[in-house]
Structure 1
Amino acid sequence: MLELFILMVERVGIIILLAFLLVNVPFFKQILLSREKWTSKLVLIFIFALFTFISNLTGIQIANNEIIPSNILTDIASNTSIANTRTLAIGVSGIVGGPIVGTAVGFIGGIHRMLQGSSASSFYIPSSVLVGVIAGLLGKKVAQKNKFPSPLQGALIGALVESVQMFFVMLFTSDNLTHGIELVSLIALPMIILNSIGTYIFLSILTITLKQEEQAKAVQTHDVLELAAQTLPYFRSGLNETSSQEVAKIIKHYTKVSAISITNTHQILAHVGAGDDHHIQDLELLTELSKKVLQTGEITVVHQKEGIGCQHPDCPLEAAIVIPLIIQDEVIGTLKMYFTDADQLTHVEEQLAEGLGSIFSSQIELGKAEEQSKLLKEAEIKSLQAQVNPHFFFNAINTISALMRRNSEQARELLLQLSTYFRGNLQGARQTLIPLQQELAQVDAYLALESARFPNRFEINFNIEPGLEDALVPPYAVQILIENTIKHAFLGRKDANQATVTISSNQDIITISVSDNGIGIPLDRLPLLGNKQVGSEKGTGTALENLSRRLQNLFGSKATFKCYNRIEGGANFTISFPHHKSEA
C-alpha cells in the first residue's frame, strides 16, 4: 500500500502541475470568470476531459493485488485493474464547472477507461458520470456567489466521490466479490486520501490566483477613481486636441498600458507612449480597427499586431483595446489602449477599459450639458439642478473606496451605477419631461448607491401599473419623493424602515405616491411642504417646493401636490398630473 501511495503521489503531482500552469494562462482565467456561459462550459469540458485521458493513460496497473510496472496504458488486460487520478479530474471539473460539466467529463472519462479494457469495464461509465454529478451539485451548493468552494470543502467532496468510485470498483471489477473487496482494501485508502489532497491543492491554486485577480481589480478601482477626478476638468471642456492630450497623459500615468490614443470620428486627437513617432495627431484615421468601432459602437479587442492595422514597419504595438466614446447613443470618438506585449492584455485590462469608456463618455456629456444649460429656458429645472447636493457625490465615492478592498466587483458595479446616476442628472437637466422608465433607472442607481452606503437600513417597494413605461414624468419626480423619505422619515431608526412607491393612472391622470412607516411630519410643517422652503438638519428644504412649482408650471391646475400623516403611522406624499406618452 505504501508503494502504491508513493506512485499515486507522482500521478497527482502531474495533475496539480498541469492545473498550476493552466490557471496562469489569461484565457483560462477568463473562462473561469465566465463559467456560466455555454461556450465556457464547452471549453472546461474539453480541458478536463484531457485531464481524464492523462489520468487513465498514466495509471498504475494492479494484478492479483500486485503492482505491475508499466508506462503508458493504452491497453489493459481483462484480469488487470488500474489505480489512477481520473476521479480527481472528474470531481474537480464538477466543482469548478457545475453538474453539467462534471457529468460530461465523467461520461467522456468513463468511456475512455472502458476502451482501455474490455466490455467488463463498462461500469466505469455510470460510476464516472455519478461522480461528476455529485461533485457538481455539492460544489454548486456550498460555493458562495461567483466563488468556488473552499479548499477544505473541496477536499471533503473529493474524498466522498472517490469513495463512491471505490464502491463501484468493489462490486463490479470482478465476478468474485471477495476479489473486489481485496482490491479495494489495497487501493481505497491511498486513492481517497490523495484524491482529497489533490482537490484541496487544486482549489487552493484557483483561490489564490483569483484572489490575486480581485486584488488587482481593487487597485485598479482606486486608480480609476483618481483618474476620473483628474480627467474631469479636461473632458468637461469637450473632446478636442488640448483636452485629449492632457487626458492621454493622465491615463498613461495611472495604467500599465504602453500607449494611449484618443480620436474623434475622423482624426487622431492625441497619442502618448510607444509608437508616437508615427501615430501623430491630425492624421486621418486609416485603420480599419478604428472605423469598425466607430461604426458598431462596440468595444473591440485585438491580440495580434496585424489586427491593429498600423502600416509602419517598425511599429512596436502588438495588442489593443478600442473603446467607443458615446453620447446619447452616438459614437463621437474612440479611446485606444495599446500594448507592446500582447500577454499584458488580460481580462482585468478589458474590464478597466470598459469602465473608463463609460466614465469618459459621461464626462464629455457633462461638458456638453454644461454648454447647453446656458440655453435652457426652464428656470425651474435650472433651479433644481443648482440644488443637487454635492455631498451625495463624495459620499458615493467614499462608499466605493471603502468597498474596493473588500468586494472589488461590487465597487465596480457601484461605479457604473454612479455613472448612470449622473448621466441621468444630465439628461434630466436638458428635458422638462422624460419617460417613466428613464426616471426609474435613475432611481435604481440612486438606491443602489444609498443601499451600499447604509446596508439593510431601509426597504423600498414598488407597485407600478403595467403599461406606464412610456408615460412622461418631470425629471427627478420619483427620486425626490424617495430621497425625501429616506432622509426625513426614518430619523434615529436603523431597521424596520419601509416605504412603498405606487404609480398608477386613472382617467388620463398619472398618480405617484410614496408612503412610509416613519416618524411622520410635524404638524407645524405639514401645510408648508411643497409651498415654501422648509429647512432641516438634513437639507435646505427646497426640493419639494421646486417639484411642486415645476408641476404647476408644466400642467397648471391639472397638477396636484399633497402630503399628510397616515393614521397607521408614517407619512404619504402624492403628486398627480396629466398622462402623456412618449412618442419615441
Structure 2
Amino acid sequence: MLPLMVDMLERVGFLIATAFVFSRSKWMRSYMSYQGDQSNHWRFLVFFSFYSILGTYSGVAVSNFDYKPAPWIGEVSPTAAIANSRTVGVVIAGLLGGVKSGLIVGLVAGIHRYSLGGFVAVACMVAPILQGLLAGLCRNALKKRFRNMSSVKLAFLVGFAAESLQMALILLLARPWEEAISLVSLISVPQVLSNSIGVALFFVLYNTIETEEDRIGNEHANRALHIVDLTLPLWKLEFDKAVHAIAETLLAETKAVGAFFYRNGKEEVREGLKTNYYFDLPIETQNKKQIGQFRLFYERAQDDIPSRRRMLTSLAQLLSQQYAFVEAEKQAQLLADAEIRSLQAQMSPHFLFNVLNTVKSFIRTKPEDARQLVTHLSKWMRNNMNNSSKTLIPIRDELDMVTAYLSLSQARLGERLKVVADIDESVLDRLIPPFTIQPLVENALVHGLKGMGPDRTGTIRVEVQRERSPGGQSRVRITVEDNGIGMETSAHVSRDQDEHAGLALSNIEQRLRYHYGMDKALVIESQPNQGTKISFWVR
C-alpha cells in the first residue's frame, strides 16, 4: 500500500504543477477569485475536463489485486481498474465554478472513464458526476459561511468526502462483489488520501496567489492614492491647464510611456509616446456624463496584469470624483455669484426706487395695476430666495421669475418695451440650472435696449421650444432675443463690452457646460443696431 501511495502522490504532484502553470493566466485567476467571468467559462470547462482526463491517463493500473505503474494508460482490461487522480480536477472545478461547472466536468470525465472499460467502469462513470455536484453544492454553501473558499482544511474535507463517495459507488455498483471489495481494500486509503491532499494543495497554491495579488494590489492602491493626492490641487486650475498638468503627473507616476487627453474624440493634450497598447481613464461628472478621457500608453498590453488594471480603473474613478468635487465647489460658488449679481442688479436701491415710484404713481390712478406690481415684486423675491439654494429647477419656475421681472420693467417703461413669449407648455417640467434665463433677459433689457432712440420700441422675445438634435434626440431650445444695439461676439463670452454682462454670460455658460457636458453652451448671434439672439439647449 505504501508504494501505491507514493506513486499516487507523484501523479498528484504532476497535476498540481500543471495547475500552477495555467493559474498564471488571467481567465484562470478570475475563476480562482470567484469572479465567474462568463466570457471565459468555456475555457474553464475545457481546461478542467482535460485536467480530469489527464488524471485518469496518469493513473496506476490495478489488476489481480496488485498494481502496475505505467506512464500512460490507453485501455483497461475487463478485470482491471485504475487508481487515479481524476477526482482532483472534478472537485476543483466544482469548488471554483459551482454546480454547473462541476456537473459538466464530471460528466466529461465520467464518460471518458467509461470508454476505457473495466469491471468498475459504470461506478467510475457515475462517481465524477456526483463528485462535481457535491463540490458545487459545497462551494455554494461554504461561500455563505466563509469569506472565501481558500481554506486548505475545507478543501481537504471536500476532496476526502468526494473520493470516499467513489469508493462507496464501487462497492455498490461493481461486480463481482469479491473483486470490488479487494480493489477498494487495496486503493481506498492511498487514493482517498492522495487526492484529498491534491485538492488541498491546489488551495495552498490559491492562497499563495491571493497573498501575492493582495500585496501587489496594496502597492497599486498606495500608488493610486499617491497620484490622486498630487492631482487634487491641479483640478482647481482652468480646465485646459488642469488636464495638461494631470497628464504630466500620470506620465511621471505610472509606468506608462505616454499620457494623452481626449475630448469629443479629439486629442487635446499629448505627453510622451503613443503605442498600440493603451488604457483609458474616463473622466465623468456626477451625473455620469463623460467630459473626456486620459489615455495611458504602454510598451505592452496590460491584460496580463489584473492588479494594475484594477488600479487604473480605481484611479479613473478617483479622478472623476475629484473632478466632480472640485466642479461642485465651483458650481456652488457660481450659483452664489449668480444670486448675488442678480440681487445686486435687480434689488439695487435704484431699481427699488423705480419700482416703488411706479407703484406710488399707480396707487391713485391705477390701483389695480399697483396691486399687480406689488404681487409681481413679492413673487420675484420669493422665487429668488427659493431657487438660490437649488442646483436644478423646472423651467416653469425660472419663467415665473422672468415674467415677474418683465412685468415690473414693462410697467415702468410702458409702450417703450414690448415682450413676446413663445412657450411650449409641454416642456416646462424639464430641469435647468437656476438664474439662466433671467440674467439673459436682464442683459437684453439693461444692455441690449440701452441707448435706443425714443422713436424705436424695444422688443424682448423669449422662446422655449422642443426640437430634435442633429443626432435625433429630443431636447429643449431656450432663446432670448432683443432688437437692441447688439454686442461684440467672440469665442469666449467673458470678453465683453460690459463687465456685468460678460460675467453673467460666463457664469451661465460654465454652469450649463457642467450639467450638460457641451463645449459651446451658449450660441450668440448679434449684429450692430439690429439686436442680439442668445440660445442654449437642455435635455
User: Taking structure 1 as the reference length, what is the TM-score of the superposition?
Assistant: 0.55
Task: Report matched runs for 1:36-435 at 5 Å.
Answer: 36-117=36-117, 121-143=121-143, 147-173=148-174, 175-240=175-240, 242-273=241-272, 275=273, 279=274, 317-327=275-285, 328-342=287-301, 345-376=304-335, 431=391
Output one character per residue of 1:374-428: Cα deviation in whole Å (capped at 9) or x when no partner. Answer: 441599999xxxxxxxxxxxxxxxxxxxxxxxxxxxxxxxxxxxxxxxxxxxxx9
Using a 3 Å threshold, how does the CA distance of structure 1 residues 214 and 157 change in structure 2: closer, same or farther? same
Shift of 1:176: 2.0
Matched residue of 1:77: which SS? coil
Using a 3 Å threshold, how does the CA distance of structure 1 residues 123 and 429 change in structure 2: closer, same or farther? farther
* Residues 170, 183 of structure 1: 8 Å contact kept: no
Q: Distance in 2 between matches of 1:127 and 1:204?
A: 25
Output one character per residue of 1:69-106: Cα deviation in whole Å (capped at 9) or x when no partner. Answer: 43322322211101110011111111222222112111
Shift of 1:193: 1.1
Q: Distance in 1 between matches of 2:78 and 2:44?
A: 32
Output one character per residue of 1:427-449: Cα deviation in whole Å (capped at 9) or x when no partner. Answer: x9761559xxxxxxxxxxxxxxx
Output one character per residue of 1:130-185: Cα deviation in whole Å (capped at 9) or x when no partner. Answer: 11111222233234566224011111111111111111123333x22121111111
* Residues 237, 367 of structure 1: 8 Å contact kept: no
Gaps of 5+ in 2: 342-387, 395-428, 432-537
Q: Distance in 1 between matches of 2:325 and 2:133?
A: 52
Output one character per residue of 1:12-41: Cα deviation in whole Å (capped at 9) or x when no partner. Answer: 011100111122223321343354354454
* Residues 260, 295 of structure 2: 8 Å contact kept: yes
Identity of aligned residues (%): 23
Matched residue of 1:322: which SS? strand
1:359 aligned partner, one-letter code: L
* Residues 278, 297 of structure 2: 8 Å contact kept: yes
Match of 2:520 in 1: none
Task: Write 1 or 2 for the structure with the bigger share of helix.
Answer: 2
Using a 3 Å threshold, how does the CA distance of structure 1 residues 366 and 237 change in structure 2: closer, same or farther? farther
Using a 3 Å threshold, how does the CA distance of structure 1 residues 167 and 258 change in structure 2: closer, same or farther? farther
Output one character per residue of 1:286-306: Cα deviation in whole Å (capped at 9) or x when no partner. Answer: xxxxxxxxxxxxxxxxxxxxx
Output one character per residue of 1:456-493: Cα deviation in whole Å (capped at 9) or x when no partner. Answer: xxxxxxxxxxxxxx999xxxxxxxxxxxxxxxxxxxxx
Shift of 1:57: 1.4
Q: Distance in 1 between matches of 2:316 and 2:155?
A: 39
2:322 aligned partner, one-letter code: Q
Using a 3 Å threshold, how does the CA distance of structure 1 residues 226 and 120 change in structure 2: closer, same or farther? closer
* Residues 369, 430 of structure 1: 8 Å contact kept: no
Q: Distance in 1 between matches of 2:305 and 2:259?
A: 16
Matched residue of 2:70: which SS? coil
Task: Report matched runs for 1:510-549 at 5 Å.
Answer: none
Q: Distance in 1 between matches of 2:283 and 2:153?
A: 46
Q: Distance in 2 between matches of 1:139 and 1:375?
A: 55
Shift of 1:260: 2.5
Task: Report matched runs for 1:18-29 at 5 Å.
Answer: 18-29=18-29
* Residues 227, 250 of structure 1: 8 Å contact kept: yes
* Residues 236, 366 of structure 1: 8 Å contact kept: no
1:257 aligned partner, one-letter code: A
Q: Distance in 1 between matches of 2:190 and 2:430?
A: 69
Shift of 1:236: 2.8
* Residues 263, 335 of structure 1: 8 Å contact kept: yes
Using a 3 Å threshold, how does the CA distance of structure 1 residues 26 and 38 change in structure 2: closer, same or farther? closer
* Residues 139, 154 of structure 1: 8 Å contact kept: no
* Residues 34, 96 of structure 2: 8 Å contact kept: no
Q: Distance in 2 between matches of 1:183 and 1:228?
A: 65
Output one character per residue of 1:185-222: Cα deviation in whole Å (capped at 9) or x when no partner. Answer: 11111111111211111001012202221222222222
Match of 2:421 in 1: none
Q: Distance in 2 between matches of 1:83 and 1:15?
A: 15
Q: Distance in 1 between matches of 2:115 and 2:318?
A: 57
Shift of 1:364: 3.0
Q: Distance in 1 between matches of 2:153 and 2:299?
A: 41
Using a 3 Å threshold, how does the CA distance of structure 1 residues 193 and 229 change in structure 2: closer, same or farther? same
Shift of 1:60: 1.2
Shift of 1:112: 0.7
Using a 3 Å threshold, how does the CA distance of structure 1 residues 247 and 113 change in structure 2: closer, same or farther? same
Matched residue of 1:376: which SS? helix
Q: Distance in 1 between matches of 2:301 and 2:101?
A: 30
Shift of 1:331: 2.9
Using a 3 Å threshold, how does the CA distance of structure 1 residues 343 and 80 change in structure 2: closer, same or farther? farther
Q: Distance in 2 between matches of 1:83 and 1:77?
A: 14
* Residues 237, 364 of structure 1: 8 Å contact kept: no
* Residues 94, 133 of structure 1: 8 Å contact kept: yes
Using a 3 Å threshold, how does the CA distance of structure 1 residues 326 and 58 change in structure 2: closer, same or farther? same
Higher Cα radius of gyration: 2
Output one character per residue of 1:205-257: Cα deviation in whole Å (capped at 9) or x when no partner. Answer: 012202221222222222222221210121232442x3233212322343333
Using a 3 Å threshold, how does the CA distance of structure 1 residues 318 and 205 change in structure 2: closer, same or farther? farther
Q: Distance in 2 between matches of 1:381 and 1:214?
A: 52
1:82 aligned partner, one-letter code: I
Q: Aligned pairs, how many?
A: 353
Q: Distance in 1 between matches of 2:270 and 2:13?
A: 48
Matched residue of 2:335: which SS? coil
Shift of 1:42: 3.5
Q: Distance in 1 between matches of 2:302 and 2:338?
A: 54
* Residues 170, 180 of structure 1: 8 Å contact kept: yes
Using a 3 Å threshold, how does the CA distance of structure 1 residues 56 and 270 change in structure 2: closer, same or farther? same
Matched residue of 2:82: which SS? strand
* Residues 220, 308 of structure 2: 8 Å contact kept: no
